[in-house]
A and B are shown apart, each in its own frame.
Chain A
Amino acid sequence: MKNIRLLLVDDEDDFRQTLAKRLTKKGIPPEQAENGQKALSILENKRMDVVVLDVKMPGMDGIEVLHHIKKRYPKTEVIFLTGHAATQDGVHGIKTGAFDYLSKPIEFEHLFGKIKQAYEKIEREEEKLKEAEFREHMEMQMVTTEKLASLGTLAAGVAHEINNPLAIINESAGWLKLIINKEEMAQMPRKQDFEKALNKIEKGVMRAKRITHQLLGFARKDDSVFSEVNIMELVEEGINLVNMEAVYKNIEIVREIAPDKNTIWSDPSQLRQVLINLLTNAIYATNVGGKITIRLEAMDETITLIVQDTGQGIPKENLNKIFEPFFSTKPPGEGTGLGLFVTRGIVEKLGGIIEVTSKLGNGASFYIMLPRYFKIKKDLDQDERIQFLEHLAEQSNSTQ
């Protein structure tokens, strides 16, 4: 109530100033305007919650001012002050969008009450709007999660079915290769063409196999094995596995991990997969001579592992897409577009959250927040969603 932004518009100076004084005493110092023109110019510079507006004014009258206000500042509430027994004006005002009207001479307490009501209405509307926005956001996210879940099931089924014909193609090509490399085939015409085509077939099969296996890896049943994991050791292992690439591009890998509090209870092999995926991406994104920083922030209940690179960064329009399946910026054949999709799947399965921040040209940072003790859940599907929504709620609270 204290911080209501109030504007008083009336051409009768005495009346307006007296009213302003009393309102100030009540803790609501209003802005003042002696005509419609002035009122609109004040509104242009400062948003008002409530405008108390006299209908009868020389020049631009109240109705006209109200029109302007409602058109440009639909959230601002207007209380009309009409002349004695001019009910017509009041009704017209309400039809145009005024909150209410009072007939002069007005009772101060009455007006004060109306201002309060108008402000409460604004608060209610804002709350409703925020709630609607939140719900919309949440629904969108839920649709995405559900879409991804059913997509995962479908993809796994397709991948499984495709593996069989792939195996047939693979064996057929392999057999032909064996034949044309036999001694009796040494003089075979256009042998090189055959060899070339067969190699391409085998390469194509390998590529398809990579995709099917990654898809199946994502949809794999819950076969996690939990144990105590030392994050520092895990990071070293991960770095060792990708180190060749890093050395080749002269990329420095910096570890910022305190030796204490870095053990958690989780699935080491899946976490290793996450780390390798993120490091591989970081190395791919980082230019020659760049730097990758791995940082661990350990809290009592959670840990946050951060992989930060000095690469080209992720354009804003892609930030929402990078965790979607089959989204890749690598040239065709190099990336499956499943790396981060699978990574997120793993992190969420382990009860964690993965987030990314990036600025084009300034590298990217991936944050993995994991619980220190993974709690094994009874109804995994149900719980995962609840946790997800709670996280959303937290996020929207912190931004309010």
Chain B
Amino acid sequence: MIKIPTKVLLVDDEEDFAEMLSLRLIELGEKVVIAYSGQEGLDTLAKTSIDVVILDIKMPGMDGIETLREIKKQYPIIEVILLTGHGSTETAVEGMKLGAFDYLMKPADFSDLAAKLEGARKRKDEQEERIRKAEAKLLVRRSGGAF
């Protein structure tokens, strides 16, 4: 079976971490783009097609939550997985209320991350599928069933 790569945007100001995690994900067959700040992440989203964003909460400048708000406002269908430090569970919960798919505590267990990534990707695919079907129905109704 050929794996369809998930297009991942990794947003983390910790450069070494971002690089290593992206290499690991790429090794698993995903397509990864890195951004080192919230703003850079949003800029990337504007010009690249992305399925899932892995987003660090604690960043200087525009923090994870702010970035998440912006992402969900502009690209509601893109799924976001939050990376949190310990003790910021409240922030993670807040993030999920804002529409994040899930959260992980750093240093994250890779199998957890992989599983959540897959779950997020699946949810996005399903949502897109539903949208497609709804659009098709709409099209059928408009054209009165006569193509």
Contact status A160-B85, CB under 8 Å: yes
Residue numbers of A with Cβ under 8 A of B are: 156, 159-160, 163-164, 166-172, 174-175, 178-179, 182, 205, 209, 212-213, 216-217, 219-221, 223
Contact status B107-A167, CB under 8 Å: yes
Instruction: Choose from B21, B28, B106 the contact partner of A164 (Cβ within 8 Å).
Output: B106
Docked Cα-Cα span, A303 to B108, in Å, equals 39
Number of interface residues of B (CB under 8 A): 19
Known: A175-B20, A216-B86. 7 other contacts (CB 8 A): A167-B106, A171-B20, A175-B24, A175-B27, A212-B86, A216-B85, A217-B87
Instruction: Choose from A168, A172, A179, A216 the contact partner of B87 (Cβ within 8 Å).
Output: A216
Contact status B27-A168, CB under 8 Å: no
Chain B contacts with A in 18-32, Cβ cutoff 8 A:
20-21, 23-24, 27-28
Contact status B14-A167, CB under 8 Å: yes
Q: Which residues of A contact B27 (CB under 8 A)?
A: 175, 178-179, 182
Q: Which residues of A contact B106 (CB under 8 A)?
A: 163-164, 166-167
Residue of B nearest to A166 (CB): B107
Docked Cα-Cα span, A167 to B16, in Å, equals 9
Instruction: Choose from B23, B89, B107 the contact partner of A163 (Cβ within 8 Å).
Output: B107
Docked Cα-Cα span, A163 to B28, in Å, equals 24
Give per-residue flags for B100-121: 1 if the beta carbon is below 8 A from chain A beta carbons, else 0: 0000011110100000000000
Is B17's beta carbon under 8 Å from chain A? yes
Instruction: Choose from A174, A212, A217, A223 the contact partner of B90 (Cβ within 8 Å).
Output: A223
Contact status A168-B23, CB under 8 Å: no
Q: List 20 A-B contacts (CB under 8 A).
A: A156-B87, A160-B86, A164-B17, A166-B107, A167-B17, A167-B107, A167-B108, A168-B14, A168-B17, A169-B107, A171-B20, A174-B24, A175-B20, A175-B27, A179-B27, A182-B27, A216-B86, A220-B86, A221-B87, A223-B90
Q: Which residues of B contact A174 (CB under 8 A)?
A: 24, 110
Contact status A171-B21, CB under 8 Å: yes
Q: Which residues of B contact A171 (CB under 8 A)?
A: 17, 20-21, 23-24, 107, 110
Q: Which residues of A contact B16 (CB under 8 A)?
A: 168
Q: Which residues of A contact B85 (CB under 8 A)?
A: 160, 163, 216
Residue of A nearest to B86 (CB): A216
Known: A174-B110, A178-B27, A178-B28. A163 touches B86 (CB 8 A): yes
Docked Cα-Cα span, A294 to B12, in Å, equals 48
Q: Which residues of B contact A169 (CB under 8 A)?
A: 107
Interchain nearest-CB distance for B1 vs A (Å) = 16
Docked Cα-Cα span, A178 to B89, in Å, equals 30
Known: A174-B110, A178-B27. A164 touches B14 (CB 8 A): yes
Docked Cα-Cα span, A221 to B86, in Å, equals 11
Docked Cα-Cα span, A221 to B107, in Å, equals 20
Q: Which residues of A contact B108 (CB under 8 A)?
A: 167, 170
Interchain nearest-CB distance for B16 vs A (Å) = 5
Q: Which residues of A contact B107 (CB under 8 A)?
A: 163, 166-167, 169-171, 205, 209
Q: Which residues of B contact A209 (CB under 8 A)?
A: 107
Docked Cα-Cα span, A166 to B110, in Å, equals 13
Docked Cα-Cα span, A209 to B106, in Å, equals 9
Q: Which residues of B contact A178 (CB under 8 A)?
A: 24, 27-28
Docked Cα-Cα span, A179 to B20, in Å, equals 13
Residue of B nearest to A164 (CB): B14
Contact status B23-A175, CB under 8 Å: yes
Most chain B CB within a 10 A radius of its CB, from A159, A174, A182, A221: A174
Q: Which residues of A contact B86 (CB under 8 A)?
A: 159-160, 163, 212-213, 216-217, 220
Residue of B nearest to A163 (CB): B106
10 smallest beta-carbon distances between A and B, as pairs: A171-B20, A167-B107, A216-B86, A175-B24, A178-B27, A170-B107, A171-B21, A168-B16, A172-B20, A168-B17
Q: Which residues of A contact B110 (CB under 8 A)?
A: 170-171, 174
